[in-house]
Amino acid sequence: MALMITDDCINCAVCEPECPNLAIYEGDEIFEIDPDRCTECVGHFSEPQCQLVCPVDCIPQDPKHVESEQDLQAKYEYLIGVAA
């Protein structure tokens, strides 16, 4: 699954620089996560870095973007340009 940022976000911006895939960006009202770029840090780290630094715990998995570990790995490889 890709992650999402809920309305509990306080716009502290600590998550944005932690994302190795540049999936987190400043939205109209709160920070948002691009599900096409979010790999839950698969390929980079053992756990999502944004979740680790979020002071209000507002970054759950996005039920609208269900993906397996293999899907996330394939997305990671695509994003870094590994040939399939």
What CATH number belongs to 16-80?
3.30.70.20
Residues 14/46, Cβ–Cβ less than 8 Å: no
The rounded distance, in Å, linking the Cα atoms of 31 and 7 is 9
The rounded distance, in Å, linking the Cα atoms of 73 and 79 is 10
pLDDT digits (tens, 9 = 90+) for 21-79: 999 999 999 999 999 999 999 999 999 999 999 999 999 999 999 999 999 999 999 99
- Residue 55 exposure: Cα atoms within 13 Å on the Cβ side: 5
Q: What is the pLDDT of residue 83?
A: 59
